[in-house]
Amino acid sequence: MGGMRPPRVPGKAVPVFTGEDLSRLERTCAGRSFQQRRDAAVIAVFRATGIRLSELAQIRYDRHDPRRSDIDLELREITVHGKGHKTRTVKISFGAARSLDRYLRARARHAQAYRPQLWLAAGNRGPMTASGSCQMIARRGRECGVDVFPHRFRHHFSHTWQMGRIAFDASFGTSREHALPAAQRAALRCPGLPGAPRGHDDLGLHGPPGSDATMMRLVPLRGVGHCCVC
């Protein structure tokens, strides 16, 4: 008994975003300025991939040498450097790729465009750090009246994918989630996230391509969030 680990206690459930929350957040970044296009791209990548804040800050870009870049807009893929020096490739939606393309066009005119870091601060201040990204997200949230922090996108991504999996299973009559209303099962989808059935992990039978194994453990069928163990 001495070698047994105590059971993991789930953390506090974090509510997922509503469609109105995301619409209001994205409207705060509508515009053509460098900051607006950068912030819109950051939010789009968070929403499309569910990556960690530290992983977002480590994305690299070199417009002259694609082999040194972590972004491939043609394949709509981002190479992510995660925990334990593990590297994985995640897919992004068409909307996220479009936001990234707009940001990269603005970035090419930036005074610090030679930097290998993807995200640059406004003016001549160099790369935007993980702390800077967190402050930017919080500021955009205050502007639209939504409680936003980077890790909440990770919760939202995982929850949305899990709901899409339940709807997929239910359409074939194999779902064990009988408590979910039929109308809700039919309505729940995960647009913009390409995927196919793959091996079992803590995201369920059908996980998003490139998701890391420690991403989430969901509280099933609650519709308000899940307990994060990442």
* Domain boundaries of the chain, sorted by first residue: 18-146, 151-226
Instruction: Give SS3 for 81.
Output: strand
Helix-then-strand count for the chain, H and E = 7, 5
Phi, then psi, of 71 in degrees rounded to 5: -115, 135
pLDDT in tens, 159-193: 777 665 555 454 545 444 444 444 444 444 444 44
Q: State the average pLDDT for the chain.
A: 75
Residue 158's pLDDT is what?
77
pTM of the full predicted structure? 0.72
Residue 85's pLDDT is what?
83
Count Cα neighbours of 115 within 13 Å in the Cβ-side half-sphere: 20
CA nearest neighbour of 203 among 138, 152, 159: 159
The edge-to-edge listing of strands for the beta sheet with 71-72 is 71-72, 77-81, 87-91
Residue 183's pLDDT is what?
43
Report the interhelical angle of 130-144 vs 150-171 (nearest 10°). Answer: 70
Count Cα neighbours of 96 within 13 Å in the Cβ-side half-sphere: 24
CA distance 218 to 13: 9
Distances (CA, A) of 14 to 17, 44, 135, 136, 224: 10, 20, 19, 20, 7
> Taking residues 108-135, what's their average pLDDT?
92
CA distance 171 to 5: 39
Residue 198's pLDDT is what?
36
> Taking residues 65-82, what's their average pLDDT?
91
> Taking residues 195-213, what's their average pLDDT?
42
115: phi > 0 → left, psi -120 to 50 → alpha, else beta; which? beta
| Superfamily of segment(s) 18-146 | Intergrase catalytic core (1.10.443.10)
Residue 86's pLDDT is what?
85
